[in-house]
Amino acid sequence: MGRRQKTQRSLGRTYIEKKIAKNLTNRPITLGDLQSIVIPARSQQDLLQWVDEKDISQSHDLKAAIRAGWVRMIVEPAATREDTEKKLVKPTINQAEGLTTESDGGGGEHAPTQPEETEYDLEDQSGTVTIDWDNGKAQHMTLTGDVTAWSFSNAKNGTYVLRFTQDAGGGNTVDMTGESSNWLWEGGVSGRIQVSQASNAVSLYILYYSEATEKYHVSALIGFA
């Protein structure tokens, strides 16, 4: 369940601070270690609606996106508005949509909050890797040898994340040559995925799948220590 927006209350007014992540690119960006929050292309998200300030400050994915020039943070200081405009809320379940919503004391509902996403662990992998996206939009594997072939299934319109972690020995490679006709790479470079070769290093690949073209659009975040 998404976390409630942080508020402070004093003298009949509501105080709200925003930490907005603005996507500067023409593709959606997923922050895998922040509940897989998706920032649509050329759009923005108030991260404090979904996660705590501590989570934001410790997010490796967000820091990497900022360093790459893909995301710009906008911090809006605490603002106030009358309590009549912002009532205390409590979580309810929208049964028809399967989403968590926030309801005020008068029976009204605010916009649904983002459902919680978990990362599916593929555990140790080498050789041929099988990815079933029904297991989760964010998936992780530990590279214990070279990956040479892939099998993907159940992709739908949307953004997916693959997180690779090198084992203690490091030096393992990931070959996507067999998927070159289905993957459109950022910068037009295809074939062998670049993953950090260092021991225990982490690399992220963000994929947007289009059912219309049956292709993935791929970008990389490489070399988290």
2-53 per-position pLDDT tens digit: 444 444 433 344 455 788 899 988 888 888 888 888 898 888 888 888 888 8
Distance (Å, whole) CA 166 – CA 203: 9
CB contact set of 164 (below 8 Å; sequence gap of 6+): 140, 141, 143, 174, 193, 195, 202, 203, 204, 205
- If you average pLDDT over residues 87-94, what whole number do you get? 44
Which range in 77-91, 102-116, 172-186 is most confidently predicted, on average pLDDT?
172-186
Q: How confident is the model at residue 112 (pLDDT cuts 50, 70, 90)?
A: very low
Tokens of 136: 């989760």
Q: What pLDDT score does 165 carry?
A: 94
The pLDDT confidence band at residue 91, using thresholds 50, 70 and 90, is very low
Does the 119-224 domain belong in CATH 2.60.120? Answer: yes
Q: What is the pTM of this model?
A: 0.50
Q: What distance in Å separates the CA atoms of residue 70 and residue 24, rounded to the nearest whole number?
A: 5
- Return the pLDDT at 138: 93
The structural domains of the chain, with segments of one domain joined by +, span: 7-86, 119-224
Which residue in the block uniquely carries the two structure tokens 């912002």? 86
Average pLDDT on 209-222 reads: 88
Asked whether residue 148 carries a pLDDT value surpassing 60, the answer given is yes
Hey, what are 149's tokens? 């072939």
Q: Is pLDDT of 196 > 60? A: yes
Beta strands 192-193 and 174-175: pairing type? antiparallel
